[in-house]
C-alpha cells in the first residue's frame, strides 16, 4: 500500500498536473493506486496524522448545480491537507454572464492551483480543461461522476477486502453515476451488470469501452432490462434516484418507467446473502429503494458518502 504524503513513484509523478474528467482517461494501475492512496490516507486521518501536503495551494470550486457531498468533501479535504478551497457559484461568475470558457480557463489559471467543477455539460468541462493550465477535476457532469465512483469502490474494498472478481449490479437510470461506476468496476476486474428500463439504457459507446476494459482486467460487463438477472449473485447492489437534477418535468413519466426497478427485499433476495447496498445519495425512500433496504444491515450508504472525502483527497494530493 502506498504511503500518503510521500508519493515518490512513477505513477504519482505521472498524475501530477493531470485533469480528472473521466476514469477512461486513467489507466487501471492509476485507479488502483488512487484507491490504495485513499485507503491509506483515511487510516492516517483516523490516527490523527494528516500532513499538510497541499499547504499554500488553493482549489477553486465552481457549481452550476446544488451540492451537499461534493462541496463539503472537497472543501474539508483541502483544509485537512493544509490548503484552501474557494466556493464559486457559476451564476456569480462572469461565465454566468456570457464570458467565454476560453477566457475563464485562462483567467482562473492565473489565480488557482486547480479547479473542481460541478456542471451541466461535460463538453463545457472538457473545454475548460483544454484552456486551463491547472488541473480540472470533474465533480459531476451530465455524462460522468468519476469521484463518486472512486468512493464507491473504496467502500467495496473496505467491506469486501478486494475488488477483482466481485459482482456489482447497478439497477436504475443509465446516467452519469452508472457510467462512471461500471467503468471503474471494469478497471478493477469486477463483474458488472447494469439493468435499466427500455429508453433509459446505459450509453452504448461507453458500454463497449467498459466491456473492453473489463476483458483486459479479467472482469466482465453485461447490460439487461431485467433487474433480477442483474442482481442475481451480486456482491454489491447499487441504485440512484430515478429523476436527477434538471429532469423534474419528467418525474411522472420516470416513476411509471422505473416502477419495476425498485431495490426492495424481493429483489435483493437474489443477491448474495452478505450483499452490500450502495446509493450515491440523496435518496428517495420508497421510490428507487425500499426503506428496509437502505436503512437495513446491508446498507453502507453513509460509509460510502464519507469515503468521498478520502477518495477526493487522494486525487487532490496527487494532481495538484
In a domain, 281, yes or no: yes
Q: How far apart are CA 125 and CA 98, in angstroms?
A: 15
Task: Provide the grid cell at 217.
Answer: 482486467
Facing residues of 169 across strands? 193, 237
**pLDDT, position 97:** 67
Give CA separation, 85 vs 55, 58, 79, 218, 307, in Å. Answer: 11, 6, 7, 39, 19
Per DSSP, helices labelled H in the chain are: 10-15, 28-46, 69-80, 101-111, 122-131, 146-160, 176-187, 204-216, 227-231, 251-257, 265-268, 291-294, 301-319
In a domain, 3, yes or no: no
**pLDDT, position 57:** 98
**pLDDT, position 230:** 98
Q: How many residues does the chain have?
A: 320
**pLDDT, position 141:** 97
In a domain, 21, yes or no: yes
Residues 6+ apart with CB under 8 A from 253: none
- The secondary element (H helix, E strand) that includes residue 224 is strand 220-224
SS3 167: strand
Same domain for 102 and 36: yes
Same domain for 199 and 128: no
Same domain for 214 and 152: yes
Task: Provide the grid cell at 192.
Answer: 458488472
Q: What are phi and psi of 122, to 5 degrees?
A: -65, -35
**pLDDT, position 96:** 61
Same domain for 185 and 93: no
**pLDDT, position 94:** 74
Q: What is the mean pLDDT of each run of 10 residues along the chain (320 residues)?
A: 51 95 97 96 92 96 93 97 94 77 95 97 97 98 98 98 98 97 98 97 98 98 98 98 76 90 98 98 97 98 98 98
**pLDDT, position 2:** 38
pTM: 0.95
Q: How far apart are CA 192 and CA 183, in angstroms?
A: 9
- CATH number of the domain to which 162 belongs: 3.40.50.1370
Domain count, the chain: 2
Residues 6+ apart with CB under 8 A from 155: 276, 278, 300, 303, 304, 307
Same domain for 139 and 260: no
In a domain, 1, yes or no: no
Task: Provide the grid cell at 153.
Answer: 469502490
Catalytic residues: 118, 145, 148, 240, 280, 308
Same domain for 170 and 67: no
Do the Cβ atoms of 120 and 141 come closer than 8 Å?
A: yes
In a domain, 290, yes or no: yes
In a domain, 4, yes or no: no
CA dihedral 79, 87, 132, 123 (to 10 degrees): 120
In a domain, 157, yes or no: yes
Ordered DSSP codes for 30-47: HHHHHHHHHHHHHHHHHT
CA dihedral 7, 34, 311, 180 (to 10 degrees): 150
Same domain for 161 and 140: no
Same domain for 140 and 23: yes
Same domain for 123 and 68: yes
99-136 burial, b if ≥16 CB within 10 A, otherwise e?
A: eebeebbebbbeebbbbbbbbeebebbbbbbebbebbb
Same domain for 246 and 158: yes
Same domain for 234 and 164: yes
In a domain, 178, yes or no: yes
**pLDDT, position 1:** 36
Domain ranges, residue 282: 146-304
Same domain for 24 and 163: no
Q: In the block, which residue shows the cell 446505459? A: 202
Amino acid at each position: 500500500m502506498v504511503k500518503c504524503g510521500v508519493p515518490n513513484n512513477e505513477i504519482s509523478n505521472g498524475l501530477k498536473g493531470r485533469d480528472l474528467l473521466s476514469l477512461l482517461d486513467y489507466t487501471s494501475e492509476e485507479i488502483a493506486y488512487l484507491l490504495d492512496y485513499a485507503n491509506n490516507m483515511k487510516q492516517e486521518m483516523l490516527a490523527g496524522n494528516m500532513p499538510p501536503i497541499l499547504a499554500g495551494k488553493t482549489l477553486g470550486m465552481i457549481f452550476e448545480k446544488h451540492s451537499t457531498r461534493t462541496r463539503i468533501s472537497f472543501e474539508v479535504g483541502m483544509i485537512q491537507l493544509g490548503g484552501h478551497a474557494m466556493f464559486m457559484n457559476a451564476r456569480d461568475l462572469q461565465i454566468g454572464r456570457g464570458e467565454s470558457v476560453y477566457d475563464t480557463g485562462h483567467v482562473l489559471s492565473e489565480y488557482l492551483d486547480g479547479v473542481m467543477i460541478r456542471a451541466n455539460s461535460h463538453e463545457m468541462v472538457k473545454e475548460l480543461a483544454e484552456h486551463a493550465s491547472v488541473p480540472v477535476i470533474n465533480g459531476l457532469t451530465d455524462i460522468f461522476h468519476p469521484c463518486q465512483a472512486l468512493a464507491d469502490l473504496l467502500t467495496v474494498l473496505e467491506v469486501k477486502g478486494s475488488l477483482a472478481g466481485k459482482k456489482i449490479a447497478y439497477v436504475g437510470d443509465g446516467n452519469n453515476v452508472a457510467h462512471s461506476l461500471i467503468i471503474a468496476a471494469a478497471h478493477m476486474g469486477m463483474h458488472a451488470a447494469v439493468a435499466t428500463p427500455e429508453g433509459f439504457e446505459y450509453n452504448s459507446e461507453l458500454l463497449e469501452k467498459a466491456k473492453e476494459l473489463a476483458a483486459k482486467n479479467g472482469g466482465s460487463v453485461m447490460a439487461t432490462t431485467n433487474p433480477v438477472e442483474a442482481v442475481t449473485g451480486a456482491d454489491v447492489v447499487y441504485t440512484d434516484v430515478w429523476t436527477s437534477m434538471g429532469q423534474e418535468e419528467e418525474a411522472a413519466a420516470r416513476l411509471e418507467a422505473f416502477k419495476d426497478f425498485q431495490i426492495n427485499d424481493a429483489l435483493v433476495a437474489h443477491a448474495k446473502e452478505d450483499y452490500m447496498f450502495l446509493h450515491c445519495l440523496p435518496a428517495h425512500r420508497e421510490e428507487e429503494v425500499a426503506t428496509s433496504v437502505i436503512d437495513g444491515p446491508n446498507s453502507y450508504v453513509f460509509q460510502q458518502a464519507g469515503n468521498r472525502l478520502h477518495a477526493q483527497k487522494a486525487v487532490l494530493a496527487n494532481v495538484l
